[in-house]
Chains A and B, each alone.
Chain A
Amino acid sequence: MLDARIVKTRAGFTVDVRIQIGAGERLAIFGASGAGKSTILGCIAGLENPDAGEIRLGETKLFPPPLSLHRRPLAYLTQKNLLFPHLSVADNVGFGLANGAVAENSRWLAELRERLGLEAIWNNRAAKISGGESRRVALARMLARRPPLVLLDEPFVALDRPLIRDLIAALDEWQRRLGFILVAVDHRAEILTRLCPQVAAIERGRIIQQGDWNSLATAPATPGLARLLEIQ
């Protein structure tokens, strides 16, 4: 279970949220740009520290004190792909696996490679592949370690619709099978509705409504949320 209470002051407002997600569940964090969504993920991932609060993942306390990044049992797909340009696609995907673990996970890596269509570029340098390919590699790299918590920050930005559909289908299948907790943030409801049945809507750092997408659509808590849902 992920249990996060996060207080973090941003320019103009304070993010103050409590998020609880059970094992194997998914939650979308939905809100306009600048509402504090990425701050929440950044605090859980450890890229920034909350001013106050507590974050636990199962028995592991992530904050406070801040647990070192490399000890956090989670994976974080940011808006940027951040592939290691000097390594091959294969080395990028296997980067987080210890030497012996690459062999142990060969079937899983083969599945990632095949499902995400990486065979043709598997031995190419990461610096030489396209944006869409980079996104698929970043996704494979994130999942290679089979983490218990997956954080997605606007995961499908600037990708074409068929690719988004494929990636959502793959993520959906792997989340069901591996049972990781999935937290996804985006300002586009059309992406999140297909990925997460449950949603927490956020405005200026506060959760203003939580439930399924239907409840949000039928009775949005604020005019701002109603407008954001109408736009989609």
Chain B
Amino acid sequence: MSARWFKLLGMAAFTVALLYPLVGLGAHVGRWSWDGGVPGSTAGAVRVSIILTAIAMVIVIAAGTPVAWYLARSAGRDRVIWDAAVLISVLMPPLALGLLLSLAYGPASGLGGLLLRVGVPTSNSATAFVATQVYASVGYYIVAARAAIASVPHELEQTAALLGVAPVAVFRRVTFPLARLGLAAAVSIAWVRALGEFGAVIVTAYYPAGMPVQIWVNLQTAGMPAVMPLLIIFLLTALPLPWLIHLLVQSRDA
């Protein structure tokens, strides 16, 4: 067998093993149950996940993009320090993040109590859900967005500035168009990370239940038949966007 065939066979075997869990979608688990015994729970979970994750993404992009730009353009010890802070958020185990958020922002904490007094509940609320998603995904967004922005030569931004264009317009007219695919990939990574967040969200925002929490609840209360419909919707909302963006980036670089 030639070396080429050996490599192809190896890749094929690995890919089959990697994608094998998808076979589970065809498993016989009994008659599928749409809501797991609680009318409206599946539709509600889908709605909560999509709307609140979209809000979280707006915050992640608004807060993360300037940070990513700064990290991409800074150098030396300065960058190392800020990088380390961002990495802590990326490396934080989800359950630990949820517990820490609960302790730091929960009603028993000073800040949480203050927020509760001004009408912002920080536990089991949409606010808690969005905040947890932001914490869980912003680091991933920044790391990916920084790489995308760093791929745009800084000299082009300086050239644009020397042509009399203000910094925000330089980003809009030069940096963003040249980094847009990488930034889209960063958003898609953050989207998947936030949408799929379970370990942290289940601690801070059991209600309103998003898809991961609802899947877990359905599994506990009604078994696999109640999980399957939501699982398919979950995969459809999580996978296609990042997958297509990845293919687009790869085809551009090919």
Contacts and interface: CB of A to CB of B under 8 A. Distances in A.
A, B: real partners: yes
Interface of B: 153, 155-156, 158-167, 170, 173-174, 177-178
Given A70-B164, A96-B163, A145-B164, A80 B158 contact: no
Nearest to B166: A70
Contacts of A96: 163-165
B159 A82 contact: yes
The list of the 7 closest CB pairs from A to B, nearest first, reads A96-B163, A69-B161, A82-B159, A70-B161, A86-B177, A96-B164, A70-B166
Given A70-B167, A96-B164, A85 B159 contact: no
A68 B177 CA distance: 23
A75 B177 CA distance: 24
Given A84-B156, A86-B178, A141 B161 contact: no
B162 A75 contact: yes
B174 A69 contact: no
B161 A68 contact: yes
A201 to B, nearest CB: 27
Interface in A40-98: 45-47, 68-72, 74-76, 78, 80, 82, 84-86, 95-96
20 contacts: A45-B162, A69-B161, A69-B162, A70-B161, A70-B162, A70-B164, A70-B166, A70-B170, A72-B162, A75-B162, A78-B155, A82-B153, A82-B155, A82-B156, A84-B174, A85-B178, A86-B178, A95-B163, A95-B165, A96-B164
Given A70-B167, A82-B156, A76 B162 contact: yes
Contacts of A72: 162
Nearest to A142: B163
Interface of A: 45-47, 68-72, 74-76, 78, 80, 82, 84-86, 95-96, 141, 145
A68 B164 CA distance: 10
Contacts of B153: 82
User: Which of B164, B170, B173, B178 counts the most A-chain CB atoms under 10 A from its CB?
Assistant: B164
A141 B162 contact: no
B104 to A, nearest CB: 38
Contacts of A47: 158
Nearest to A147: B164
Contact of A74 (B155, B162, B167, B170): B162
A68 B167 CA distance: 9
User: Which of B153, B159, B160 counts the most A-chain CB atoms under 10 A from its CB?
Assistant: B159
Contacts of A69: 158, 161-162
